[in-house]
Structure formats: C-alpha cells, structure tokens
Copies of this chain bind each other. A is one copy, B any other.
Amino acid sequence: MDDSSTPGRSRPAQQAHCNSCSLSTLCLPVSLDLTDIDRLDTIISKSSPLKKGDQLFDQGQPFGSIFAIRAGSVKTYSVTADGDEQITGFYFPGELIGLSGMDSGQYPNAAQVLETTTVCDIPFARLDDLAGELPELRRQIMRTMSREIRDDQQMLLLLSKKTAEQRLATFLIRLSERFRIRGYSRTRFRLSMSRNEIANYLGLAIETVSRLFTRFQKGGLIQVEGKEIDILDLQQLYLQSGECPSLRQAP
C-alpha cells in the first residue's frame, strides 16, 4: 500500500470541479464567476479518500499546497519542545487549511484527518499566480486568512478568560453554528473528534471534559451518547458559554 501522507499521490490526482461542488458558496470560489471558477478548477486536484489518522502535512514540512476540505474533518496541531501537542483548530467541509505555512515556507503546524476525508489539493504557487489575475480570488484568500486570525484570537480569549464550563459550552455552540451553515442540524450532530482532542483543544484535562458532558447532561442541556450529541437547550447553553451575542452572524 502506498503512502497516503501526501494526498493526491496515492492515486492519480483527479481534477476537482468547483462548479458542481455544493460547497462553492463556502469555499474559495465565493464571488468568482463561472469562467474564473473553471480556471481555478484546472489547478486543483481532488484527493482520494484519506482515512482517520492520515497526515495532510507534518509540522516543519515544506509548504507547497493549501487544502480545502470536501468531506470529513481535519485537526491542525502544533508540537511543543517536550513532545506534547496542542490542537489549534478543527476544520470542516468548505474550509481551508495550510495558509499559515506561507510566511516561513514550511507548515508551522501539522494537519491530521479525523475521519474518512477527501480534500482538494491547491498548489500554492499556482494559486498565487491566479490570485494575481483574479482580484476576487485574491480577496477571498485574504478574507479566509483574516477570518482565521479572528477565530484564533477568539480562542485566545476562551483559553485565557473562560472557565472549563464556559469553554465546553462555547465549543458546542460554535460547532452547532458551523453545522447549521453547512445545512446540517444545529442540534443533533456527531463529534468527529475524541474527548481527548476536545480537551486538548480547550486547554482542559480529558477528565474535566468528561465530567462536564455528564454535568450538562444531568442539567438537561444536552444528550450525549458516545460521539453523538443532541443539544436540548441551545439557549441555556448559550448563556453558559459567556459568548457575546453581538458577534453572531445574521441568519
């Protein structure tokens, strides 16, 4: 079996088709016209399905491509000097990964697949060329990076100021919103990451996360069964989260 750590090589790369992709309103093609999307298509290749645990890229690996998720989910993480990892984000269909590698020429973090996942491989050199010709593409890339900065800073606030309870409530609410935007239920979904990964991401011990799930369930806020979660009282969860309502997007 061939090495699937460099997606798109394990089998001959397939060309992607943004035009027919249901994610085009969330992903890079936003606000491109059909002609421009076709040009984007020519540089993008779709990976064969990656399976849980496959690396999209490793920390320190030379930066070459950014990746758009077509289906599945991915985590990014940095590794510290003493070997333990810090998860910096979870990514879902339509989202872009790898942009933080642009500056230094190598990925400053690693990306690993959480479940069976397919991605679009977008060679950065070619994307950059295209960005020079298509102003809307350029803007969309920048907007994506801008959003990433904003989201990371929101996480700084969470890690610095919020209690364990608020962190988990915030986490669930943000997931809920992201699923909603993608057309899924905002109250019933599957957590593709493990408790350990949730804990790591939220800066908590796994035991704390486990206890909180139990407490939220006893309080009637949620119903959990393994990775399946059902949010029973989104309103109450929102109050627990300490989130600022003004930052919500208009429906």
Residue numbers of A with Cβ under 8 A of B are 60, 78-82, 84, 86, 88, 99-104, 108-109, 128, 131-132, 135, 138-139, 141-150, 152-157, 159-161, 200, 203, 242-247
Contact = CB atoms under 8 A, between A and B. Distances in A.
A11 to B, nearest CB: 30
Contact of A146 (B102, B147, B150, B245): B102
Contact of A149 (B81, B100, B128, B132): B100
Contacts of A142: 102, 141-142, 145
Given A138-B132, A159-B159, A243-B81, A103 B152 contact: no
The 4 closest A-B pairs by CB, nearest first: A160-B203, A102-B146, A103-B146, A81-B244
B153 A84 contact: no
A4 to B, nearest CB: 25
A184 B79 CA distance: 31
A246 to B, nearest CB: 7
Which of A104, A159, A200 counts the most chain B CB atoms within 10 A? A159
Nearest to A133: B132
How many identical subunits does the complex contain?
2
A244 to B, nearest CB: 4
A153 B101 CA distance: 12
A149 B76 CA distance: 13
26 contacts: A80-B157, A80-B161, A81-B243, A84-B161, A86-B156, A88-B156, A88-B157, A100-B146, A100-B150, A101-B146, A102-B142, A102-B146, A103-B143, A103-B144, A103-B146, A103-B147, A104-B150, A108-B153, A109-B153, A128-B135, A145-B145, A145-B149, A152-B156, A156-B159, A159-B160, A159-B203
A60 B150 CA distance: 12
Contacts of A109: 153
A156 B139 CA distance: 27
B153 A100 contact: yes
B156 A156 contact: yes
Contact of A82 (B81, B200, B242): B242
Contacts of A154: 78
Which of A88, A131, A150, A203 counts the most chain B CB atoms within 10 A? A150
A131 to B, nearest CB: 7
